């Protein structure tokens, strides 16, 4: 009986050892299975990190959209009103009396000249941006003396140096250009202005104030200096009528059908 029990126990032990040996051989013969399991386990944290980053990317996209919207809403005008006027280019006292000379005007609390008043009216009617053409060397505080200086500049071909400059000319499609008539034509500072800028492909619209000479030959001269621009005939208003010309300026700008 004991012999039979011993034989049965030996058989069971042999069977158990054989099974363990087969399992080890199976593992050794298929190492890829173990490596794949390890790789899957290692990839899990990476996937979790990518999932956590999505809200941050969504927020970034939303921010970009808000920025684009803001830039669109704050889009600048494509109309420029560039003008030269005596009152903004002379050495005038702080308490200047605008009634002392017809060439000095106060517009919206600021000292300017007849052409400056017209420029402000055009800006309000068109939605354009103002640009004051100014010289390095200021003109005298007396308008009569200034006219004499203007005559000397014209007779000697002097083109005054500019102290203000348009920084973003490419932005504008339409450029109003204003000046007073000095000695039957544009002041020499306007030649400096047209020397500095190329208005090719743009629409140039002159405007002028004077005691009665209107544009003289100014429009033809502008066309010669800016041959690749579309130069319109423009609008002249007598110096004595400027302060009452708002309705006329509004009608003129409306007829031009310019848009910002």
pLDDT bin (cut points 50, 70, 90) of residue 152 is very high
Interval 11-32: pLDDT, tens: 444 444 444 444 444 444 444 4
Q: Is 80 exposed, middle or buried (0-12, 13-18, 19+ CB in 10 A)?
A: buried
Instruction: Report the percent of the chain where pLDDT is more than 70.
Output: 67
Interval 176-186: pLDDT, tens: 999 999 999 99
pLDDT at residue 5 tops 70: no
Question: What DSSP string runs through 129-163?
Answer: EEEE--BSSPBPSSHHHHHHHHHHHHHHT--PPBS
The CATH number of the domain holding residue 153 is 3.40.50.360
Cα 255 from Cα 249, distance rounded (Å): 10
In a domain, 237, yes or no: yes
In a domain, 168, yes or no: yes
The answer to whether the CB of 161 falls within 8 A of the CB of 136 is yes
pLDDT at residue 139 tops 90: yes
In a domain, 152, yes or no: yes
pLDDT at residue 194 tops 70: yes
Contacts of residue 241, Cβ cutoff 8 Å, sequence gap at least 6: none
Q: What is the mean pLDDT of residues 197-223?
A: 96
As for how many domains the chain has, the answer is 1
Tokens representing 179?
């000046």
Domain carrying residue 161: 79-128+142-256
Q: What is the mean pLDDT of residues 125-150?
A: 94
The answer to whether the CB of 195 falls within 8 A of the CB of 159 is yes
The model carries a pTM of 0.70
pLDDT in the model for residue 142: 87
- Quote the radius of gyration of the chain (alpha carbons, Å): 41
In a domain, 173, yes or no: yes
In a domain, 10, yes or no: no
Contacts of residue 207, Cβ cutoff 8 Å, sequence gap at least 6: 83, 115, 118, 119, 122, 176, 177, 178, 234, 235, 236, 237
pLDDT at residue 58 tops 60: no
């Amino acid at each position: 009986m004991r012999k039979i029990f011993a034989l049965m126990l030996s058989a069971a032990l042999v069977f158990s050892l054989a099974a363990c040996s087969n399992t080890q051989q199976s593992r050794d013969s298929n190492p890829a299975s173990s490596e794949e399991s390890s790789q899957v386990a290692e990839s899990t944290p990476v996937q979790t990190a990518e999932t956590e980053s999505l809200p941050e990317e969504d927020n970034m996209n939303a921010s970009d959209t808000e920025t684009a919207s803001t830039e669109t809403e704050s889009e600048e005008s494509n109309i420029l009103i560039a003008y030269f006027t005596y009152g903004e280019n002379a050495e005038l006292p702080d308490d200047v009396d605008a009634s002392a000379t017809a060439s000095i005007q106060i517009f919206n609390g600021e000292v300017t000249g007849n052409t400056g008043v017209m420029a402000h009216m055009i800006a309000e009617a068109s939605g354009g941006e103002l640009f004051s053409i100014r010289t390095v060397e200021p003109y005298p505080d007396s308008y009569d003396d200034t006219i004499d200086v203007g005559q000397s500049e014209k007779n000697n071909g002097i083109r005054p140096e500019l102290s203000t400059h348009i920084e973003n000319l490419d932005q504008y499609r339409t450029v109003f250009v204003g000046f007073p008539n000095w000695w039957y034509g544009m002041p020499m500072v306007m030649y400096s202005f047209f020397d500095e800028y190329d208005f090719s492909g743009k629409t140039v619209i002159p405007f002028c104030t004077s005691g009665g000479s209107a544009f003289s030959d100014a429009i033809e001269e502008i066309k010669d200096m800016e041959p690749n621009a579309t130069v319109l005939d423009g609008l002249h208003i007598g110096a004595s009528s400027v302060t009452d010309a708002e309705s006329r300026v509004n009608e003129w700008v409306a007829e031009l059908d310019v848009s910002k």
